[in-house]
Structure 1
Amino acid sequence: MLRRLTIRDFVIVDRLELDFEAGFGALTGETGAGKSILLDALGLVLGDRADASAVRVGRERAEISAEFDLPPSAALRAWLDEQAIEVEDGALILRRVVEAGGRSRAWLNGSAVALNQLRELGEHLCDIHGQHAHHALLRGDAQRQLLDTHAGAAEAAAAVAAAYRQWQQARARREGAERDNAATARERELLGWQVDELAALAFDATEWAELNHEHGRLAHAAALMEGADEVLAALGEGDFAAAPLLGRLGVRIDALAAIDGELGAVSELLGSAAIQADEALHALRRYRERVDLDPQRLAEIEARIGAVTDMARKHRVAPEELPALLGQWRARLEELELGADPARLAAAETEARAAYEVCAQRLSALRAPAAAALSERISAAMQGLAMAGGRFEVALTEVAEGGAHGREEVEFRVAANPSQPLRPLARVASGGELSRIGLAIQVITSRDAATPTMIFDEVDVGVGGGVAEIVGRMLRELGRERQVLCVTHLPQVAACADWQWNIAKAERDGEVLSRVVVLDEGARVEEIARMLGGVNITATTRSHAAEMLGAAGAA
C-alpha cells in the first residue's frame, strides 16, 4: 500500500508530506482546491509524462517521492530481480524530479531508472481510475481488454494475436505466389543465373586482402631486391661493413673497459648494437632469398583482381561486399523456390491456421466462464444502484473465421429495467446509468486485480442520494481488502470513508497554495456539513452530517 507521498514545488503545492493509512480514504474540498493535483503528483512518480508546467512558478524544479510497502507479488519480485533493484525493510521508494526546463529524472530505491520502468512498477502497485473512465467502456476494444484482464487471459490474447499474424502472413505468401507466378519464375531464373555466376567466382573477403598484399609485393619486387642488396652490402660486405665493424669496435672497447670501469656502459651499448646489426643482417639475407621476380604469378594475381573487380562493378558493390551479396541472393532464391511450390505454401498456411485455432480455443475457454461470472456480479450490483430489475451481459458473438482478437467479439449489453431487452451499452445507457454501471464494473473488476492500492478520481460523478450512499458502501467494502483512495464531492461517499482529508487553497505572501488537512471526527462533521449545505452551515446541517457519519460507521 501507499505509505507516504512527499511533494515539493509541484503546480500550486509548495511542500506537502502526507502519511497514508489503510482502508478507504476520502479526499474532499472545493472545486479547484487541488484534489486532483495530489493524484497528478502520484501519477508523475509512477511514470506519467511531465513537462515544465509541472514546476511551481518561480522554482527550479518539482520533486515528488512516494513510499510503498512491497506487496507479496511473485511477479513484482521477479521484475525487481530482473531490474537488479535491491529492496530493504520491505519498502519501495520512488522519486521523480522535473526541472523547469522540462528535463525529468527518476530513481527507485536510490537507483536511477527510466520512465518505462516506473510505469511497469506502477502497474504492480497502484490502479488509478479517472473520472471519465466509464466513457472508455463504450469502446469495443476497451470492453474486450477488460474481460481478458478479468479472466486472466491477457497472455492468451497476445498469443492469439501473434498466431493470427503468422497465419495471415502464410496466407499472403500463398496468394502472392499464385497471383505472381510468371513474374516470380522470371526473377527466380535471373537470380539462379546470378548465384551460379558469383558462386563460380569462389571469392571471399579474406582472399581479397591477401591478393592485394601479394600484388603489392610482386609489383615492387625489383625495387625490393635492389634495396635489400644495397643494405646487405653496407651491413655485411667489405672491410667497412657495419656489422663486422661494430664487432671489432666492441672487442676494442671491452679491452679498454677492463682498464677503466667507467667505459662499461659504452661496452654494453656497443655489444647490444653489434648483436642487433647481426640479427638484422641474417633476417635480411633470409628475406632476399625469398624475394624474386615472378612475372607469371604477378599476371595471375592481376587477372584474379581484374575478375573480382569486374564482378563488383557489374553489381555496383565494393569487392569485399560480394560474399554478402551472394548470401542475400541465395536467401531470396530459397524464398522464391518455396513460393514455386504451391503445395508447400498451402501446407504452411494450414499449419499456421491450426496453431491459431489452438490458441483461439484456449482463449475462448478462459473468456466464457469469466463473461458469465462478470455478467452475474454486475447485474447484482445494479440492483442497489437504482436500477432494480436491470441486467448486464458480457455477450460473446462468434466470428466465422476468427480474427486477431479470437473466435468471438466481446460486447457489453445492458437493460436498465426489466421491461427493456438487452442492448449494446453504447446505445442504451444514459449518462447517469453509464456512470453507475461503469462504477460497478470498476469496483467489481478491481477486486480481482493484484494491485494493493486503488484510486478513484471523481468516478461517482452523475450519481447522488441513496445511490451515492451505496457507492460509498461499495468503496468501504473494497477498502477492507486493499487501500482505496477516492476524490469525491458527495457527502454520502465521504461519510463512508475510514479516514478523510480536506484539500483547500490558501494565500501566503501573495501566492495561492494548496494545503491538506487531516480531519478528526469533529472536523469531518464540519466538512461533510459543508458538502451538504454549502456556504451557510446550520446546526441542522451539522446534525445531519453527524448522523451520516454515525450511520456509515455502524454499517
Structure 2
Amino acid sequence: MIRELEIRNFALIESLRIRFGDKLNAMTGETGAGKSIVVDALGLLLGDKAQASVVRKGAERCQILGIFDTGRNRAAAKLLKELSLENEGEDLILRREIDAQGKSRAFVNDRPVTLSTLSSLGDHLIELHSQHEHQKLLKSAEQRDFLDRYAEAWDLRAQAAEAFALWKALLEKKEASQISDQERNQKIDLYAFQVKEIEDAKLKPGEEEELDEALPRLKNAEKIRAALDEAYGHLYEDEGSVSDRLRKVKRSLDNLTVLGMDLKEVPRILEEVLVGAEEMAGEIEKARGNIVSDPSRLDAIFSRQDLISKLKRKYGATLADIIAYGAKIKGELDILQNYAENIGNLEKEIEASQASFMKKAKALSAARRKEGENLASAVEKELKDLGFLKARFAVQLVSEPPSAAGLEAVEFLLSANPGEDLKPIKAVASGGELSRIMLALKKILAQADMVPTLIFDEVDAGIGGAMGNIIGEKLKGLGKTHQVIAITHLPQVAAFAECHIAVRKEVRSARTQTEIELLGKDARVEEIARMLGGVSSISLKHAAELLSEAGKK
C-alpha cells in the first residue's frame, strides 16, 4: 500500500505531503481545489506519459515521490527481485521527475529505470477507478476480462492464447508455402543454381583477410627480392660489408690484447655484435628464399577476389552473409523439392495444433459458463444493497470466431426495473448506475484481487445522498482487505473514512496553490458540514451524526 505521497512544483501544487491510512481514505474538497491533480500526480508516479505543462510556472522541474509498503505484496516483491531493484526492509520508494522542457526521469529505490518498468511495477501497486474506467466497463473485451478474473481463468486463457498463436503461425506458414507448380519449379531452378554457385566457391571464413595479406608480397615480389639482396650484400656478402669490417675490428682488438692493453668489455660486446650480424644475415637469407615471383599464383588471387566480389554483390555484404544465405536457400530448396511430403507433415501439425487449441478454449468456455452464473448471482446481491432492489444481472457468452481470447465474447446484461428485458449495460446503464455496477464488481473481485491499493475517483458521481451511505459502507468493507482512497463529493461517503484528507485551493503572494490537510475530529465535522451545504449549527450537528452512525458500521 502507499504510505506517503510527496509532490513538488506540480501544476497548482508547490509542495505537499500526504500520509495515507491503511483502510478507507476519503479525499474531499471543493470543485477545482486540486483533488484530480493529486490523482494525476499518482498516475505519473506509476508510469503515465508526462508533458512539460505539468511543471509549475517558474519552476525548473517537478518531482513526485511515493513510499510504499510492499511487505505483503508478493507480486511487487517478485518483480523487484527479477529487476534487481529490491531494497532493504519493506519500503519501496518510487520517484518521478519532469523538467520544464518535458524531459522525464524515473527512479525505483533511487535507481534509474525506464517508464515501462515503472508502469509494470505500478500495475502491482495501485488500481485506479475513474469515470473513464467506468466507461471501459461498456466494452465487451473489458467485461470478458472481469469474468476471467472472477473465474480465476487467466492461466486457462494464457494456455489457449499460446495454442492459438501456434495454430495461427502454422496456418500462415502453409499459406506462404502454397504456390503454383510453375512458380515452384522456377524457384527450384533458381535456388539450385544459387546453392551450386555458393558451394562450388568453397568459401572459408577469414579467407578475404588471407588473400589481402598475400597479395602485396606477390605483386611486389621482384622489388622485395632486390631490397633483400641489397641488404644481404651490405650486411654479409659484399666486399667491405658490415660483417667484413667487424671482423677487421676484431683482429685489431686481438692485437691490442697481445700488446698488453685490456679493453675490458669491448671484446665481449664486439663478439655479440658479430653474432647478431650473422643472425640477421641468416634471417634475411631465409626471407630471400621465401620470396618467389609466381605470376600464376597472383592471377589465381585476383580471380578469387573477383569471384568473392561477384558473390557479395549477389548474396551478401560479407563472406559470413553469403554462407548464411547459402544455408538458408538450401533449406528452402529442400522444402520445395519435397513439397508434397512437407505439406502433408504441416497439415498434420495444423490439425494437432487446432485440436490442442480447441481443447484449451473449450475448457476456458466451460469455466466462463460456470462462473458466469455465479458472478451474476453475486452481482445481483451487491446491486440490491446498492439500490437496485429488483435488478436482474446476467453474463451472456456470445460465440465468435476463434481468437487468442477463446471462442466467445462476453456481454453483461442488466434489467434495472421489474418487467424490463435484460439488455447490454451499455444500452441501459446511466453514469451513476455504471459507478455502482463497477463498485459491485470490485467488491466481488476484492478477495482475488492482488493489487493492494484501490483508488476510486468520484465513484459516487450521479448518486444522491441516500445511496451515499450504502456506497460509503461498501467502500469501508473494501477497506478491510485493501487500502482504499476515495475522491468524493458526498459527505455520506466521507463519513465512513478512517482517514480524511481535505484539499483546498489558496492564493498566496498572488499565486494559486493547492494545499492539503489531514483532518482531526473537529476539523472533520466542519468539512462534512461544508459538504452538506455550508457550515451552520444545523449542518455541524448533522455532520456529527453522520460520523457517529458511520463509526458504528
Shift of 1:486: 0.5
Q: 1:425 to 1:219 in 2, by over 3 A?
A: same
Retained in 2: the 8 A contact 1:28–1:503? yes
Residue in structure 1 matched with residue 200 of structure 2 by the alignment? 200
Residues 22-421 of structure 1: matches in 2 within 5 Å? 22-178=22-178, 180-243=180-243, 245-246=245-246, 249=249, 276-312=276-312, 321-337=321-337, 339-340=339-340, 341-399=342-400, 402-421=402-421
Residue in structure 1 matched with residue 545 of structure 2 by the alignment? 547
Separation in 2, partners of 1:313, 1:36: 62
Retained in 1: the 8 A contact 2:235–2:243? yes
Single out whichever of 212-221 and 509-518 deviates more from structure 2.
212-221
Q: Which runs of 5 or more structure 1 residues have no equivalent in the other structure?
A: none
Q: 1:458 to 1:336 in 2, by over 3 A?
A: farther
Separation in 2, partners of 1:465, 1:268: 115
Q: 1:320 to 1:342 in 2, by over 3 A?
A: closer
Separation in 2, partners of 1:467, 1:159: 42
Shift of 1:512: 1.1
Single out whichever of 519-528 and 300-309 deviates more from structure 2.
300-309
**Equivalent position amino acid for 2:548 in 1:** G
**Equivalent position amino acid for 1:349 in 2:** I
Retained in 1: the 8 A contact 2:365–2:408? yes
Shift of 1:442: 3.0
Once the two structures are superposed, residues 29-55 of structure 1 have per-residue CA deviations (whole angstroms, 9 ceiling, x without a partner) of 100001111122222222222121121
Q: 1:481 to 1:220 in 2, by over 3 A?
A: same
Residue in structure 2 matched with residue 531 of structure 1 by the alignment? 531
Q: 1:362 to 1:270 in 2, by over 3 A?
A: farther
Once the two structures are superposed, residues 173-199 of structure 1 have per-residue CA deviations (whole angstroms, 9 ceiling, x without a partner) of 334444544323322222122212322
Shift of 1:150: 3.4
Retained in 1: the 8 A contact 2:141–2:409? no
Separation in 2, partners of 1:5, 1:267: 89
Retained in 2: the 8 A contact 1:501–1:517? yes
Shift of 1:331: 3.8
Q: 1:279 to 1:445 in 2, by over 3 A?
A: farther
Tell me the SS of whatever aligns to 1:474.
helix
Shift of 1:549: 1.0
Separation in 2, partners of 1:411, 1:421: 14
Retained in 1: the 8 A contact 2:191–2:329? yes
Single out whichever of 464-473 and 308-317 deviates more from structure 2.
308-317
Single out whichever of 28-37 and 287-296 deviates more from structure 2.
287-296
Separation in 2, partners of 1:383, 1:234: 114
Retained in 2: the 8 A contact 1:384–1:467? no
Tell me the SS of whatever aligns to 2:218.
helix
Q: Normalization by structure 2: what TM-score?
A: 0.90
Retained in 1: the 8 A contact 2:203–2:319? no
Separation in 1, partners of 2:21, 2:432: 31
Single out whichever of 275-284 and 333-342 deviates more from structure 2.
333-342
Separation in 2, partners of 1:61, 1:210: 59
Shift of 1:328: 3.5
Retained in 2: the 8 A contact 1:8–1:63? yes
Tell me the SS of whatever aligns to 1:124.
coil
Tell me the SS of whatever aligns to 1:387.
coil
Once the two structures are superposed, residues 292-340 of structure 1 have per-residue CA deviations (whole angstroms, 9 ceiling, x without a partner) of 2334444444444444445555668667753233233224334544655
Q: Normalization by structure 1: what TM-score?
A: 0.90
Retained in 1: the 8 A contact 2:153–2:367? yes
Separation in 2, partners of 1:278, 1:227: 18
Shift of 1:397: 2.9
Q: 1:97 to 1:324 in 2, by over 3 A?
A: same
Retained in 2: the 8 A contact 1:71–1:452? no
Single out whichever of 200-209 and 10-19 deviates more from structure 2.
200-209
Shift of 1:69: 0.8
Separation in 2, partners of 1:116, 1:235: 73
Q: Which runs of 5 or more structure 2 residues have no equivalent in the other structure?
A: none
Tell me the SS of whatever aligns to 1:85.
coil
Once the two structures are superposed, residues 345-365 of structure 1 have per-residue CA deviations (whole angstroms, 9 ceiling, x without a partner) of 312221321232243244335
Separation in 2, partners of 1:183, 1:143: 48
Q: 1:176 to 1:302 in 2, by over 3 A?
A: closer
Equivalent pairs: percent with the same residue?
A: 36
Q: 1:299 to 1:100 in 2, by over 3 A?
A: closer
Shift of 1:121: 1.4
Retained in 2: the 8 A contact 1:5–1:19? yes
Q: 1:554 to 1:328 in 2, by over 3 A?
A: same
Q: 1:53 to 1:335 in 2, by over 3 A?
A: farther
Residue in structure 2 matched with residue 17 of structure 1 by the alignment? 17
Q: 1:147 to 1:274 in 2, by over 3 A?
A: farther
Q: 1:277 to 1:158 in 2, by over 3 A?
A: farther
Q: 1:453 to 1:310 in 2, by over 3 A?
A: closer
Residue in structure 1 matched with residue 430 of structure 2 by the alignment? 430
Q: 1:337 to 1:428 in 2, by over 3 A?
A: farther
Single out whichever of 69-78 and 491-500 deviates more from structure 2.
69-78
Tell me the SS of whatever aligns to 2:149.
helix
Retained in 1: the 8 A contact 2:315–2:321? no
Q: 1:10 to 1:259 in 2, by over 3 A?
A: farther
Once the two structures are superposed, residues 356-406 of structure 1 have per-residue CA deviations (whole angstroms, 9 ceiling, x without a partner) of 22432443354344433322221111111221121222222344x522310
Once the two structures are superposed, residues 406-447 of structure 1 have per-residue CA deviations (whole angstroms, 9 ceiling, x without a partner) of 022221111213422322121222333222212222333244
Q: Does 1:492 align with 2:489?
A: no
Retained in 2: the 8 A contact 1:339–1:345? no
Retained in 2: the 8 A contact 1:250–1:274? no
Tell me the SS of whatever aligns to 1:505.
strand
Shift of 1:162: 3.7
**Equivalent position amino acid for 2:356 in 1:** A
User: Aligned-residue CA RMSD in angstroms?
Assistant: 2.8
Aligned pairs, number: 548
Q: 1:140 to 1:232 in 2, by over 3 A?
A: same
Separation in 1, partners of 2:281, 2:155: 76
Q: 1:242 to 1:486 in 2, by over 3 A?
A: same
Separation in 2, partners of 1:54, 1:437: 33
Single out whichever of 279-288 and 339-348 deviates more from structure 2.
339-348
Retained in 2: the 8 A contact 1:133–1:459? no
Tell me the SS of whatever aligns to 1:240.
coil
